[in-house]
Amino acid sequence: MNLEAAKQAFYEECDELLGLMEASLLAVEASSGAARAEHINAMFRTAHTIKGSAGLFDFADIVAFTHLLESVLDRVRDETLAISPQLVEILFSSCDHIAQLVAAVREGRTGQDNPALTSALEAIFNAPQAQGLSVAAESRVEIEADGAHVVTSENWHLSLRFGPDVLRNGMDPMSFIRYLGTLGQIVFVTTLYDDLPEAEQMDPETCYLGFEIEFKAAPGIDKRAIENVFDFVRDDSRIRIVPPHAHMDEYVRLIKESPEGSSRLGELLVKGGALTPLELEEVLEAQRAAAAKGDHKQLGTLLIQEQLVPPVAVAAALDRQREHQTQKTREHRVVKVDAARLDGLIDLVGELVISGAAAQLAAEGTTQAALREAVASLTALVERIRDEALSLRMVPVGEVFSRFPRVVRDAARDLNKDIQLELEGEETELDKSMVDKLADPLVHLVRNAIDHGIESPSLRRTRGKPDYGTVWLNAYHESGSVVIEVGDDGGGMDRGRIRRRAIERGLIDEDAQLSDQQILQLVFEPGFSTAESVTQLSGRGVGMDVVKRNIEALKGFIEIDSMEGQGTIIRLRMPLTLAIIDGFRVGVGASTFVIPLDLVIECLDLPVSDGVPSHYVNLRGEVLPFLRLRDLFEIDTAPPKREAIVVVQYGTSRAGLVVDRLEGELQAVIKPLGQLFRGVKGLGGSTILGSGAVALILDVPDLIQRAAGDERRRVSATQTPDVKRLRSEQGSEP
């Protein structure tokens, strides 16, 4: 690996680590006690890793700053420094500062110093020990008082439940326990065979055993080493390792998780010497108390409601964290590939699809059965390669969502509002290039929701809502597109005010007839802002129009649902992918068009008209507006006797497209339109057919709007606007 590639890896690692650091910090803010200590530790480690890697490349300023941060965190970790809101704030700024420094070296410039932040950190680090000492003194007292919470056993306790398939996979629990014996002394083994089923059902090759083991580790054997013993079976077995002098909580958890029930396991623990009977009593009591509260989080915080934790418990927490860490690295066994190479692959697959189609066409013209068969299987394979290749580019949208806890926290703090963030559908996948470009618009929408959407606590109270506002992000797939929702339970949009403001700003005429959706969409017009006051976050009239532009550049759409007094949902509807689609081929005259197959609902014969040119049909009782492609693209051939109508749907609206012929399915590699055709409405791109001919891909969303718009223009202009849609649509959400 050359230096440049290594640096690249460093930048990516930094991005990940900074994300982790931020997540830890958020968690620090939200937790207390041992859980908090754990997060501090996690943060310390990320700072340490960044420092180490930066040192390799001689990035002196990053090293210097992370060193300072690390020192401060180390003091927090030793509990000689208390966590205060100011400190948390400074730590957040430190995260940001590191990100800036990294971004700077990435772009080859020297990072901007932040003397204020540096001196603040230094001041904290050098803060009089007095404050720290008093905390330390206090903690010492606590430890003594807390002594009863630590078990007396000097042995490690291992709780093992082997997976059913370990024997079949050639991994006998016996060998693991024997190997464990080489790392120290096995003091006591209890073998559990409670799971052994009835004689008939018992599968002799399935493992039903579990073990509770007291283990005295040889000097120098740490948790990692013990864990490694079970590396091969870790994935399908349940392995719990409790260190010597562990905190009671470890056992509370162990017992709680035990499939055998608490009293049975408790008995075993006493028998093996892991707990004294008195300690067991205490653990069970703690567990009952936690269960009574009915909140599993309690176990973490039960971890002593007292704020300070015995050092041993911190060590235990550290171990657990490490365990978590190793698991994480196992899960993230990924290959990093340059995006450009992926794009190259996709391009090639695109060519393959086209050549495949050509081969198929040629094969269809022959009578050679073998050839046709070969081509058929080739086509199937090409299809799979295409799907695989495209899915390589797909990433879960959670990648973007993960930055929002911080965004919301900062915004809520700046505006002095209490905001709760809910994330849903993080696993929904989306094209990588799109995910990157969606981040900024989403941040803007979320900030906007917090700033303008959520009312002040006092107003919320009078409206009978909880004091804290809720903002949510949700993602899901719907008819060939991905929908990302930004919702809030705030005041909703005031249509009257939007209208007045739009008239004021000269965006619409005073007597303009607008549908509900059109009024709402006005907020995306450049230079529009209804905020009574310009705040730090938004309301400067820039942004919303940029959001719209960005989304439209990605071929997406924005929908707004808003109920006054109840909230607003903004939906971004994005196409699934940008490269290759399954298409439906239709013909008009000598031309061929392609419609994205996902958007096609059904095909019908167009009813023979009685001479009156109409623009809608009655589709099972519903009015379906339609467009004649012949008219739209001005194709000068006579229509055939019978025309077909293809019903397409995008989002919630439908329309029909009238064509001459239905020509079946194909895979279409989307090629951008040439300069000449840029900006032609109704066309989304072009593709090359197997025959070598060019077909145009229809921009269905635009055509649907057009069909509906034409229809609306024809219908009298005095129609009432659409009914409010928030309620009706909420019902139909998946």
Partner 1 sequence: MHVSTDYNNDQLTLHLRGPFTIYEAGAAKSLLLDELHVADDMEVDLSEVSEFDTAGLQLLLLMKREALRLDKPLRFHGHSKAVLAVIDLYNLGGVFGDPVVLAGKGRS
Binding site for partner 1 (CB under 8 A): 167-168, 172-174, 177-178, 181, 185-191, 193, 196, 199, 202, 204-205, 207-209, 211
Instruction: Find out whether 380 and 352 touch, Cβ atoms under 8 Å.
Output: no
Q: What is the C-alpha end-to-end distance of the chain, expressed in Å? A: 47
If the CB atoms of residues 193 and 713 are measured against partner 1, the closer one turns out to be 193
The per-residue DSSP string of 214-243 comes to EEEEPTT--HHHHHHHTGGGTTTSEEEEE-
Least separation in angstroms between CB 246 and partner 1: 21
* CB-side neighbour CA atoms (13 Å) of 150: 21
If the CB atoms of residues 178 and 384 are measured against partner 1, the closer one turns out to be 178
If the CB atoms of residues 189 and 439 are measured against partner 1, the closer one turns out to be 189
Least separation in angstroms between CB 156 and partner 1: 15
If the CB atoms of residues 205 and 634 are measured against partner 1, the closer one turns out to be 205
If the CB atoms of residues 196 and 339 are measured against partner 1, the closer one turns out to be 196
Least separation in angstroms between CB 385 and partner 1: 41
Least separation in angstroms between CB 174 and partner 1: 5
Least separation in angstroms between CB 280 and partner 1: 20
Q: Which long-range contacts (CB under 8 A, 24 or more apart) does 515-519 make?
A: 515/712, 515/721, 515/722, 516/721, 516/722, 516/723, 516/724, 516/725, 517/559, 517/560, 517/722, 517/725, 519/495, 519/721
In angstroms, the CA 671 to CA 694 distance is: 10
Least separation in angstroms between CB 368 and partner 1: 51
If the CB atoms of residues 208 and 468 are measured against partner 1, the closer one turns out to be 208
If the CB atoms of residues 204 and 621 are measured against partner 1, the closer one turns out to be 204
Least separation in angstroms between CB 175 and partner 1: 9
Least separation in angstroms between CB 168 and partner 1: 7
Least separation in angstroms between CB 148 and partner 1: 29
Q: Percentages helix, strand, coil for the chain, rounded to the nearest 5? A: 50, 20, 30
* The token pair that represents 17 in the structure block: 């680590």
| Ramachandran region, residue 679 (left: φ > 0; alpha: ψ -120 to 50; beta: rest) | left
If the CB atoms of residues 186 and 635 are measured against partner 1, the closer one turns out to be 186
Least separation in angstroms between CB 152 and partner 1: 21
If the CB atoms of residues 145 and 174 are measured against partner 1, the closer one turns out to be 174
- From residue 726, alpha-carbon distances to 317, 520, 565, 566 in Å are 47, 12, 12, 10
Instruction: Find out whether 538 and 531 touch, Cβ atoms under 8 Å.
Output: yes
If the CB atoms of residues 204 and 679 are measured against partner 1, the closer one turns out to be 204
* Residues in contact with 6: Cβ distance below 8 Å, sequence separation at least 6, in sequence order: 56, 57
Closest to 697 in 3D by CA, of 707, 683, 676: 683
In angstroms, the CA 597 to CA 371 distance is: 28
Least separation in angstroms between CB 170 and partner 1: 8
In 3-state terms, what secondary structure has residue 698? strand
If the CB atoms of residues 272 and 356 are measured against partner 1, the closer one turns out to be 272
If the CB atoms of residues 8 and 206 are measured against partner 1, the closer one turns out to be 206
Least separation in angstroms between CB 178 and partner 1: 7
If the CB atoms of residues 187 and 291 are measured against partner 1, the closer one turns out to be 187
Positive or negative: CA dihedral 308, 309, 311, 317? negative
* Residues in contact with 97: Cβ distance below 8 Å, sequence separation at least 6, in sequence order: 65, 114, 117
Least separation in angstroms between CB 218 and partner 1: 13
A 10 A CB-CB count for 611 gives 5
* The token pair that represents 352 in the structure block: 């393959």
Least separation in angstroms between CB 270 and partner 1: 15
If the CB atoms of residues 177 and 411 are measured against partner 1, the closer one turns out to be 177
In angstroms, the CA 98 to CA 47 distance is: 9
Strand order in the sheet with 184-192: 184-192, 210-217, 156-161, 238-242
* CB-side neighbour CA atoms (13 Å) of 145: 11
Closest to 464 in 3D by CA, of 561, 569, 565: 565
Instruction: Find out whether 51 and 36 touch, Cβ atoms under 8 Å.
Output: no
Least separation in angstroms between CB 241 and partner 1: 18
**What one-letter code names the amino acid at 422?**
E
Least separation in angstroms between CB 188 and partner 1: 5
If the CB atoms of residues 273 and 651 are measured against partner 1, the closer one turns out to be 273
If the CB atoms of residues 213 and 581 are measured against partner 1, the closer one turns out to be 213
| Ramachandran region, residue 89 (left: φ > 0; alpha: ψ -120 to 50; beta: rest) | alpha
* CB-side neighbour CA atoms (13 Å) of 295: 6
Least separation in angstroms between CB 158 and partner 1: 13
In 3-state terms, what secondary structure has residue 7? helix
In angstroms, the CA 415 to CA 395 distance is: 33
If the CB atoms of residues 234 and 615 are measured against partner 1, the closer one turns out to be 234
Q: What is the DSSP letter of 170?
A: T
If the CB atoms of residues 265 and 657 are measured against partner 1, the closer one turns out to be 265
In 3-state terms, what secondary structure has residue 304? coil
In angstroms, the CA 172 to CA 165 distance is: 10
Least separation in angstroms between CB 197 and partner 1: 9
In angstroms, the CA 685 to CA 662 distance is: 20
Residues 655, 659, 664, CA angle at the centre, nearest 5°? 100
Instruction: Find out whether 647 and 707 touch, Cβ atoms under 8 Å.
Output: no
The kind and range of the H/E element at 483 are strand 481-488
